[in-house]
Amino acid sequence: MGLDQVRIAAMIRKVSLLLLVAFGIASAQTSVDATAAFAGVVKDPHDSVIPGARITVIGERITIKERTDPAGNFRIGHLGPGAYSIQIEVDGAVPFLQKNIRLANDEVKTLAVTLQAGKDPICVLTVDGKDRKRK
């Protein structure tokens, strides 16, 4: 191996080490900054909670899908600072969509969402309490 090849190999090792350190710092910084969150409750127009509503949070580099708990609550955390869209859906209701919500580091954005009934409900609850599909 000639002197030039030794120098090139040493330079490659130094550059590789610098890249590993740089990526390690960036990775550590991302995990430290991922402290923002969305939280809230989803209800219907009669102020009843909606368990199992589908929550989708979309950011520049991330998409997270969750569901509301039995009390209609949700919390989606470990988000970095930035702009997000949030969509909340349940069958038979008009979806809720809010775009470009800015989250700062350590911020918890609380949402109280009331979903409105859709124009064409999936089923109709009759006075006798039985579900009947629309015809």
For every one of its 135 residues, what pLDDT tens digit does the chain have, with 9 covering 90 and above? 576 776 777 777 776 666 655 555 444 444 456 789 999 999 999 999 999 999 999 998 889 999 999 999 999 999 999 999 999 999 989 999 999 999 999 999 999 999 998 865 555 555 554 444 544
Whether residue 45 is found in the same domain as residue 68: yes
State both tokens at 130: 């039985």
Q: What is the CATH number of the domain that holds 52?
A: 2.60.40.1120
d(CA 97, CA 64): 15
- Residue 19: beta bridge partners? none
71 and 44 in one domain? Answer: yes
Q: Are residues 7 and 64 in the same domain?
A: no
Q: Note down the domain range covering 64.
A: 35-118
